[in-house]
Amino acid sequence: MINSGHGRGPDSGSNSDPFPAGLRVLVVDDDPTCLMILERMLMTCLYRVTKCNRAELALSLLRKNKNGFDIVISDVHMPDMDGFKLLEHVGLEMDLPVIMMSADDSKSVVLKGVTHGAVDYLIKPVRIEALKNIWQHVVRKKRNEWNVSEHSGGSIEDTGGDRDRQQPREDADNNSSSVNEGNWRSSSSRKRKEEEVDDQGDDKEDTSSLKKPRVVWSVELHQQFVAAVNQLGVDKAVPKKILEMMNVPGLTRENVASHLQKYRIYLRRLGGVSQHQGNMNHSFMTGQDPSFGPLSSLNGFDLQALAVVGQLPAQSLAQLQAAGLGRSSLIKPGMSSSPLVDQRSIFNFENPKVRFGDGHGQTINNGNKQMSLLHGVPTGMEPKQFAGSHMRVQQQITGVRPGQNVQSSGMVLSVADHLPRGGPSMLSSLGQQQPMFSTSVSRRSDLTGAVRNSIPETNNRVVPATHSVFNNFPADLPQNNFPLASAPGISIPVSASYQEEVNSSDAKGGSSAATAGFGNPCYDMFNNFSQQQQQHHNNKLNDWDLRNIGLAFSHQDTASASAAFSTSEAYSSSSSLRKRRETDATVVTAHGQNQQPPSRSLNHLNHVFMDGGSVRVKSERVAETVTCPPATTLFNEQYHQEDLMSALLKQEGIPSVDNEFDFDGYSIDNIPV
Amino acid sequence: MDLVQMQKSLQDYTKSLFLEGILDSQFLQLQQLQDESNPDFVSQVVTLFFQDSDRILNDLSLSLGQQVVDFKKVDPHVHQLKGSSSSIGAQRVKNACVVFRNFCEQQNVEACHRCLQQVKQEYYLVKNRLETLFKLEQQIVASGGMIPAVELGF
């Protein structure tokens, strides 16, 4: 990684460690043998390890040191506390990525990990290879958080708080963004090296300004939240009202929305409420099934996700989508669909869907939102990663809500990421889906391009559109050859037409639906945002979507991931370097709709997750597996590395050669309207 | 025995453990974690494993020896033993644990007793072999030699 310059923040001892070295890992396992081995392995990876043999102790360590750790690895079966409970606590209170591990590799347990929001699930015996890449979860999470925060308040300030996931929030009550901003600067949050974009304590003006401090849900804040929710009624609580009741300055609706998602998941788990989820969960495993019914309520996202998962047959997916599309708003702020989403979130397909929807009709909210969506998108793409935080996924799905999406997306990604890693992880179970993903991935990229242009308000709609987009992609490439990012203006007109196409293509086929699935999740996120902004976002979103998609996949071994990645790269490349930067850093801050596609963020992400070489490989694979138009593959090969490089360079502050990203003729934006 | 012979013996001995399935590739992972800065890592971990496993086997014997066997207590122990044995590469022990767990699920006391015996047997076997292995290593080191890297054909 290029971040060699980045140190960890002041509070971390290893300021000079190039990321990911110095990553602060807390490993919890009651088995002393495993604990010792893990510690040794993590140290070999140059991480800073703290080991703990009891969950309660781990929690208190985490509570005392809110910013003291980057990631937690925990065993599932522990005598004093169930690993999943610990996972939930950590997710709710500290919002750190948690990796579960166990000698138990039964599907049900692994699924539990996913639904509870773990970003990955490792099967013992854990090999060092599985641990080498855990940093990706940290980065991913941060990126998602940025997205969320960006959307939530449009505070484009250079908060950069998000980067440091664990930014110390001195003031328990001061979780508001505004406060954080100030804190962020002064706090040692910069320490996190993950922030490639963030770097040396100063976010680049143009890109990083969008970074918003991450909201840390302190105990007090959470209590306020719970009180508000209880007053409103759990089922009726909507982020807006909760926000009003809480009356915390600086807290945004998005923050509340994503937290609400998590909370609902948590409650569900406690109460054993199945609702949709029950169905969903099972449906995931079983595949196509009746669960789709409830899914449709989710808005098609689920369908896609499910489809992607490999469970849904293409046709059913298409049908479902059609049904889902019917509803324009995928996810109401009220998170009504969360239960479903929850399950689905695993697959995150929804998010991409959302995006598409937004893209088509409307601009996906402001750039900020878009950005976050994008981030989220990729996560969605990685359905494979079931392990991924369950909650997050949910968020993504329900993601329609701004902010939330981002979060979920993030998780989704993480999920996906996991897949490729560590052999024993869930990948195997998801393996079947891979093929689907790859195609969808590639598709998505196309879609994003197309979607961008036409990002409509409704998510649902988008989804189908996306599918068609892909299909038509080669032919439809809009005049603009540039990736989504490039064309805010262009996209608009394109989107209009695109949308038409998309809608009509709905009927087409399940296969596209499947792919749409991938894209949907991402798009969903955007859709939510798009409501607020128009066109600009669309463009941006597209970029992001692509990126996200790419990112999400990149992690995965599947070719699809790489394909997505590359395509997104391609798309983003068209945007100017500046644009990229912005998107990257601020993710969406879209400051005003900068048309620049989130590509930057994607690029950034790309970096993070893939090294050029690997990306390259992936894209190639994608080319093989994906049926995307050759143009896409071209992108991959040409651009992803360059894109990564650009992203890396950008982060470093070195202007990169963006030109490469101009994919004339390939960008999705060119979809003729 | 001269140094070279000792080293050869050690290599052959180690290979045999792998070939017999007593150890699996996870043990190699452990060996790779050992280096100059951590020269005794493997023996440390294995020693820890022995200590922990002795305790677990004890607990298991007690639990299974009860009038009424509480499988809710038995299962976690077996699970943990499975995890730790797999983490150090004690393949046969791990496999025996897998079988043991199945019978636990079925709440078959009789079969569980047999499984416990089997697990103990495998455990003592791997313990014995590894102790011999470490002795050989110590001899080599004491003679001023280096422990050769394990070269496994598979």
Three-class HEC string of A418-451: HCCCCCCCCHHHHCCHHHHHHHHHHHHHHHHHHH
Q: What is the pLDDT of residues A632-658, one digit of tens each?
A: 444 444 444 445 555 555 555 444 444
pLDDT for A214 equals: 64
Q: Are residues B33 and A102, on separate chains, in Cβ contact within 8 Å?
A: no
| Closest CA–CA distance from residue A78 to any residue of chain B (Å) | 9
Residue B70 has pLDDT above 50, yes or no: yes
Q: What is the pLDDT of residues A331-375, one digit of tens each?
A: 344 444 444 444 444 444 444 443 443 434 444 344 344 333 444
DSSP codes joined into one string, A372-395: HHHHHHHHHH-GGGTTS-HHHHHH
Distances (CA, A) of A604 to A9, A349, A551, A583: 19, 22, 9, 9
- Out of B32, B84, B89, name the one closest to residue A34 (CB): B84
Residues 29-48 of A with CB under 8 A from B: 30-34, 36-37, 40-41, 44
Residue whose entry in the numeric block shows the structure tokens 């804190």: A183
In degrees rounded to 5, what are phi and psi of residue A482? -85, 155
Q: Which residues of B touch A128 (CB under 8 A)?
A: 29, 32-33
Which residues are CB-neighbours of A14 under 8 A, at least 6 positions away? A7, A8, A21, A22, A48
Q: Which of A127-141, A405-419, A539-553 has the highest mean pLDDT?
A: A127-141
Q: Could you give the 3-state DSSP secondary structure of residue A51? A: strand
pLDDT > 80? residue A32: yes
Q: Is A247 on the interface with B (CB under 8 A)?
A: no
Mean pLDDT of B113-120: 95
Picking from A83-97, A123-137, A152-166, B93-107, which range would have the lowest pLDDT averaged per residue?
Answer: A152-166
Element (H, E) at A302: helix A301-309
Place A60 in a pLDDT band, splitting at 50, 70 and 90: very high
User: Over 50: is that where the pLDDT of B45 sits?
Assistant: yes
Is the model's pLDDT at A424 over the cut of 90? no
* CA–CA distance, A350 with A342 (Å, rounded to integer): 11
pTM: 0.46
pLDDT above 90 (res B121): yes
- Candidate from B38, B41, B87 with C-beta closest to A125: B87
Query: Does residue A252 register a pLDDT over 90?
Result: no
Which residues are registered as beta bridge partners of A50? Answer: A26
pLDDT category at A76 given cuts 50, 70, 90 is very high
What is the rounded CA–CA span in Å between residue B144 and residue B119?
37
pLDDT mean over A259-280: 67
Which band of pLDDT confidence, cut at 50, 70 and 90, is reported for residue A239?
Answer: confident
Q: Per-residue pLDDT averaged across A61-90, rounded?
A: 90
A128 touches B at CB < 8 Å: yes
How much is the pLDDT for B19?
Answer: 94
For residue A36, give the nearest of B26, B45, B83 by CB distance: B45
Average pLDDT taken over every residue of chain A: 55
Mean pLDDT of chain B: 91
- pLDDT confidence of residue A73: 95
> How many Å apart are CA B104 and CA B111, to the nearest integer?
8
Beta sheet of A48-52, edge-to-edge order: A48-52, A24-28, A71-75, A98-102, A120-123
**How many CA atoms lie within 13 Å of B11's alpha carbon, on the beta-carbon side?**
14
B20 φ, ψ (degrees, to nearest 5): -80, -5
Q: Token digits for A336?
A: 């009504």
